[in-house]
Amino acid sequence: MTDQRAIIEQLTAYRGLFEALLKRREADCEAYANATPYEQNLWSSKRAQLERLADIDHAQRKINLFDAAMERVVVGQYGSCTCCGVSIDETRLTADPAEPNCTSCARSVALSPRTKQIDAGIACEAMVIRLDDNIAILALPSGEHGSLSLGEIADQPLGQLNEYLRVGDVVRVKSLGNDGSGRARLTMKMSRQVAA
Ligand SMILES: [Zn+2]
């Protein structure tokens, strides 16, 4: 029992580190988004902003992994591979206490081709990198690009895209799946239901 508590305490401590990172990066992102273009150029760069978005994405994934690991402790499955059920090597768990997989399962995950596509329904922060008349191209934290049309900005959009967005803006978006040209089709209407 004390063993279980020690594991939970350790997982909680590590989770806290990523939560602190997440909060810092989110605050920086918000400050950047609210700054004037001149201020943005003064103390930051778009590249730095993209790195912050990537950090946010990474921290969020880590937090999710720690949460999942804590759930496994509670149900008595901590230390077993979530894929095949065998005991995870002690050295692996020492290196990363949230590790969900044994060496061989982790290897097969790493070898399988990575789908460069964000799943429909996933919400994230993205930065406007190009604005055309009818479409905005946004950089997602995953490194992919997404497209956003005027109709996905507001229910009854008036005027043109550039009246709502500027290049460098960071907005919260949700993916509606693939847009047919290798990008994610995005919406800013967060309550919009994603077709199954
Ligand atoms: Zn396994």
CATH 2.40.50.140 fits 123-187, yes or no: yes
Cβ atoms within 10 Å of 47's Cβ, excluding its own? 8
Ligand 1 mean position, distance from CA 151 (Å): 45
Statement: residue 52 has pLDDT above 70: yes
pLDDT score recorded for residue 130: 84
Give the tens place of pLDDT for each residue, 53-106: 888 888 998 999 999 999 999 999 999 999 899 999 999 999 999 999 999 888
123-187 shares the fold of 2-111:
no
Ligand 1 mean position, distance from CA 88 (Å): 8
Distance of alpha carbon 32 from alpha carbon 43, whole angstroms: 9
pTM of the entire predicted model: 0.57
Ligand 1 mean position, distance from CA 98 (Å): 14
pLDDT band at residue 107 under the 50/70/90 scheme? confident
Structure tokens at 187: 């919406």
Give the tens place of pLDDT for each residue, 124-171: 888 888 887 788 988 887 777 889 998 898 877 778 888 888 888 888
Ligand 1 mean position, distance from CA 101 (Å): 5
Ligand 1 mean position, distance from CA 99 (Å): 11
Statement: residue 116 has pLDDT above 60: no
User: Would you kindly state where each structural domain of the chain is located, as residue ranges?
Assistant: 2-111, 123-187
Ligand 1 mean position, distance from CA 90 (Å): 14
CA distance to 82, 104, 113, 115, 135, per residue, from 149 (Å): 40, 43, 30, 24, 5
Class of the CATH-defined domain 2-111: mainly alpha
